[in-house]
């Protein structure tokens, strides 16, 4: 997708601190971390949100969930949160599906 920042990260056109990768997904550190562990799990295919990828490519959606466990394991974390903001009113600002893997410290729920 032209002008999609996460497609550009997937393509290597914009740098990111990649911490894990599978054939379908990548995981990289959030540029503005909200918790001691804040990594984004991102599909290599462009889909707008978790529902869209779940319909179009269930295996790719499942891969994000499995990769989140890998990210937490690699960080030495047992328990973590996996959040998919879906839609602008829910705080989604990048419209390429990504899960926030969050752990450590006091993680705000962010429900305002
Ligand atoms: P959303 O608000 O869509 O759920 O989450 C988007 C996330 O992407 C935000 O937490 C934001 O900090 C992160 N982000 C936005 N642009 C970039 C970028 O260029 N690189 C990285 N690593 N993270 C980004
Ligand atoms: Zn994209």
Residue 45 maps to which CATH number? 3.30.428.10
Range of the domain at 97: 5-103
**48-104 pLDDT, tens digit each:** 999 999 999 999 999 999 999 999 999 999 999 999 999 999 999 999 999 999 999
Residue 46 catalytic? no
pLDDT greater than 80 at residue 109: no
Residue 108 included in any domain: no
Q: Which one is predicted more confidently, 37 or 107?
A: 37
Looking at the 3D structure of the chain, how many domains does it have?
A: 1
Residue 38 included in any domain: yes
Question: Contact, 71 vs 41, CB < 8 A?
Answer: yes
Protein residues near ligand 2, an ion, with CB under 5 A: 1, 4, 6-7, 46, 96
Residue 22 included in any domain: yes
pLDDT greater than 70 at residue 110: no
Q: CA-to-CA distance for 110 and 91, rounded, in angstroms?
A: 9
Instruction: Give pLDDT, residue 108.
Output: 58
User: pLDDT band at residue 112, thresholds of 50, 70 and 90?
Assistant: very low
Q: CA-to-CA distance for 53 and 62, rounded, in angstroms?
A: 10
């Amino acid at each position: 997708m032209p002008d999609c920042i996460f497609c550009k990260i997937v393509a290597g056109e914009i740098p990111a601190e990649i911490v894990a990768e599978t054939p379908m997904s990548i995981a990289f550190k959030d540029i503005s971390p909200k918790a001691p562990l804040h990594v984004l799990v991102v599909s290599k295919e462009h889909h707008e949100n978790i529902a869209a990828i779940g319909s179009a490519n269930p295996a790719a959606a499942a891969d994000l969930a499995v990769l989140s466990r890998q990210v937490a394991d690699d960080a030495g974390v047992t328990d973590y949160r996996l959040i998919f903001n879906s839609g602008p009113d829910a705080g989604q600002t990048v419209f390429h599906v990504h899960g926030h893997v969050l752990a450590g410290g006091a993680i705000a729920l962010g429900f305002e």
